Structure formats: C-alpha cells, structure tokens
Structure 1
C-alpha cells in the first residue's frame, strides 16, 4: 500500500461510503447497480461477509476517505466468491488494486478457502487483466449476475 493508505476490516458504519465507491465505479463503466439483489450486501457488510466466515475490507486514503473495497463471501465448503473489488479512478496506477487482490487471496487462504470464484464485466478490462495475471482461469458458471459476462476461478 502506498504511504498513508491503510487497509482495514469494514464495519456496517462503512456501508454508505462503500456503496458510493461501488456505484461510482459502476457508473464510470456504464454498468448498473442492483441494490435489491446483486448489491444488497452493501447494506449489511458484516452480515454478508464476516458473520458468515468471510471478510470485507476497505482501503482508506491519507484523508480518511474509503477509496477501495474487496470482499470474500463464503459460497460453500472451501469455496468463496471475490466480490465488490472496486477502486476509485484517481487512486489507480499506484499498485493499490494489485495489493488489494494479493491481500484478498492471502486472506482467503487464511480463512480456509481452497477455491475462489469471481464474476466481472468485460468492460472492466484493467480488472480482468489483473485477475488473469494472478492466475484466475475462465469458467462457465450456472448463471452470472445481470451485469457480468465473465466468470473466473482460482484454486488456492
């Protein structure tokens, strides 16, 4: 993490700030949020992540503003989904995204997950390239959320 930036567990007190990050990045790429289904977890981060055996973390800039997020949501025995990995554009190009992904993969191992899945949209070219560089492989899930057209998995 660059100097002055911190990575910490999120609490429900962070929900509004995390929603702002997620909605801003989705809008940047012309993608729609669905706060009643796919993005309903943004109203109860603790309940959808930590209380289920996963985690949700945020990156805070030197001014104390949440500028990035990532979640690991349990999906079954040894399996989790990488969710809500977003970084505001003015903070990109500093290695924060890669650091966040590396941290999430390490946390997944620490939490006992053996496989990690993610869904994304092909318009998120930078993120897709980063996932592929990290070793994620494309696969065909039974279904993807409405805004996603790609799915990846990684054995840990």
Structure 2
C-alpha cells in the first residue's frame, strides 16, 4: 500500500462510509444497488465477515476517509468469496487496487481458505483485468447476484 494510505480492519462505524463508496461506484457504472440482498452485508460488516471467520478491510486516505474496501466472506469449508472490492475513482491507477487484492489473497491464505471466488459485472473492465492478471479463472456458478454476469475463482 502506498505510504499515504492506511489499510485497516473495518468496524461497524465504517458501515455508512463503505455503503457510500460502494453505492457511488455502482452508480458510476449504472449497476443496481440491492440493499435487501446482495448489499445487506454493508449494514453489518462485523456480523457478515469477521464473526463468520472472514474479514472486511478498508483503505483510508490521510484525512481518514474510506476510499477503498474489500471483504472475504466464508462460503463453505475452505472457500471464501471476495466481496465489495471497490476503490474511489480518484484513487485508481495508483497501485492501491492491486495492493488491496494482494492483501485479500494473503489474508485468505492466513485464514485457511484454499479457494477464493468472486462475482462481478463485465462492465467493471479494470477490475476484471486485474482479477484475470492475478490468476483468477472464469467458471459457471449455480447462480450469480442480479447485477453480476461473470464469476471467477482462484485456487490458493
């Protein structure tokens, strides 16, 4: 992570800021917000992540503003889902996204997961490129979230 940014575990106090970040990025790409199902985790970060054996982390700038996020949510034994990996548009192209992804993969290994899965929308071209460059392979899950049209997995 570049030195002017801080990566730390999220707390319940971060929920509003994380929702604002995620919802604004979704709006930028004309993707639907779904607070009842797909995005319900953003109202209880600790309950949906850390208390289930995963983690949710945020990136903050020098003013302490949340500018990035990433979560690892346990799905089944040995498998977690990479969720809510978003970065404020102003901070893209600085290596923060790549550092955030590498951090998430290291955390997944440390938490004992052997596979990381994710669902995304093809319109998020930069993210898809980053995932593929990191070694994620496309696969067909049983179902995807309504706004997602692609799924990837990476064996650790």
Superposition TM-score, scaled by structure 2 size:
0.99
Q: 1:155: which partner in 2?
A: 155
Look up the match of 1:137. 137
Q: Could you tell me which residue of structure 1 aligns to residue 85 of structure 2?
A: 85
Distance 1:76 1:50 in 2: 15
Once residues 95 and 79 of structure 1 are traced to their aligned partners in structure 2, the CA distance between those partners, rounded to angstroms, is: 26
Query: C-alpha root-mean-square deviation of aligned residues, in Å?
Result: 0.4
Match in the other structure for 1:27? 27
Residue of structure 1 equivalent to 2:73: 73
1:63 shift after superposition: 1.1
Q: Secondary structure at the match of 2:23?
A: helix
| SS, match of residue 67 in structure 1 | strand
> Shift of the alpha carbon at 1:2?
1.7
Give the equivalent residue in structure 1 for 2:18.
Answer: 18
- Equivalent residue number for residue 53 of structure 2: 53
Q: Normalization by structure 1: what TM-score?
A: 0.99
Deviation at 1:40, TM superposition (A): 0.1
Find the aligned partners of 2:87 and 2:12 in 1 and give their Cα distance.
19
Alpha-carbon deviation of 1:138?
Answer: 0.1
In structure 1, how many angstroms separate the alpha carbons of the residues matched to 2:151 and 2:138? 6
- Give secondary structure in 2 for the equivalent of 1:132: helix
Query: What CA distance in whole angstroms lies between the structure 2 residues aligned with 1:118 and 1:72?
Result: 10
3-state SS of paired residue (1:16)? helix
1:3 shift after superposition: 2.2
Q: Give the 3-state SS of the residue equivalent to 1:108 in structure 2.
A: helix
Q: Distance between the aligned counterparts of 1:64 and 1:112, measured in 2? A: 30
* 2: CA distance, partners of 1:27 / 1:13: 23
